[in-house]
Amino acid sequence: MTHRASVPTPEQIVETPERVTLHTLDHVLALTCRMLVSIHPDLNDPDVPYWAIDPSRTRLAAHRLVIAASQLQARIEGYLAALDLDRQTDAGRPEDDLPF
């Protein structure tokens, strides 16, 4: 439920344009989670006992969205890390060395 992706540099955008979409999606997910927590504050409080949690359908749906958003943010972070590793690998390869 946290936003982690940093703003891509112009060089990163040229090399890996998917960063723009992933960065935007990460921000949208973070804002969505914050909005849902503002409506259902118990979503962000692990100390709230189960019997005190709002049993409404909207709260349950919000909980599921927050969980899914957190998982997707982790996958976005993993993809961005893989891009960085690929970039480092490519930077160490001689220009005349083919990548396959």
Amino acid at 64: R
Q: Could you read off the pLDDT of 19-77 as tens digits, one per residue?
A: 999 999 999 999 999 999 999 988 888 787 777 777 889 988 998 999 999 999 999 99
Residue 5: predicted pLDDT: 57
Altogether, the residues listed in the chain come to a count of 100
| Cα 62 to Cα 39: distance, rounded to the nearest angstrom | 9
Residue 43: predicted pLDDT: 86
**What is this structure's pTM?**
0.74
Please tell me what DSSP assigns to residue 11.
Answer: H
Amino acid at 77: E
| Cα 36 to Cα 61: distance, rounded to the nearest angstrom | 10
